Amino acid sequence: MASRLNKSSGYPAARKSFVGHLLPRSPGQAPRSSRAWIQGVVVWFSDTAIAVDDGTGVGIVTLTDKRWLPPDPQFTPALGLYVGAVGALKAAPADGGRYVHMAGWRVLDLHDVALADELWVAEVIDIHLSAQSANGAT
């Protein structure tokens, strides 16, 4: 089955999710999905990764390809910055399943977007409720 591509980015489509929904059930377990889009606050960063906390869990995003949107060569992660991250989920290493691990395709600086956090919560809930309705769940 071919992956759907996002027409604007050229990357495979990723489902908007809370980090807590993506957490592995056990160390080393394969992720429940292959791709995800998460948003939250940067709580740790290095030259090669950031940790994003959305209130339900922490996602470790490896910055394998710094393609920031909007493109800004001066942009660097900072503690407390609100960001969105899209990428491929990776199997959990032996960290006790405490974190979601992603190979980041895109990281978006969303600190200037009014109500980004509140709108994100509503979007994710709506997507998951719509999926449940489509599958006949109540």
Task: Kindly report the pTM of this predicted structure.
Answer: 0.79
- The reported pLDDT for the residue numbered 61 is 93
Please report the beta strands in 17-123, taking only residues with DSSP state E, as ranges in sequence order.
Answer: 35-45, 49-53, 58-62, 82-90, 99-109
Which residue did the predictor score with more confidence, 61 or 73? 61
Q: pLDDT at residue 64 above 70?
A: no
Angle among Cα 20, 39, 126 to the nearest 5 degrees reads: 70
Could you give the domains of the chain?
36-124 (2.40.50.140)
pLDDT tens string 71-113: 555 567 899 999 999 999 987 776 667 889 998 888 888 988 8
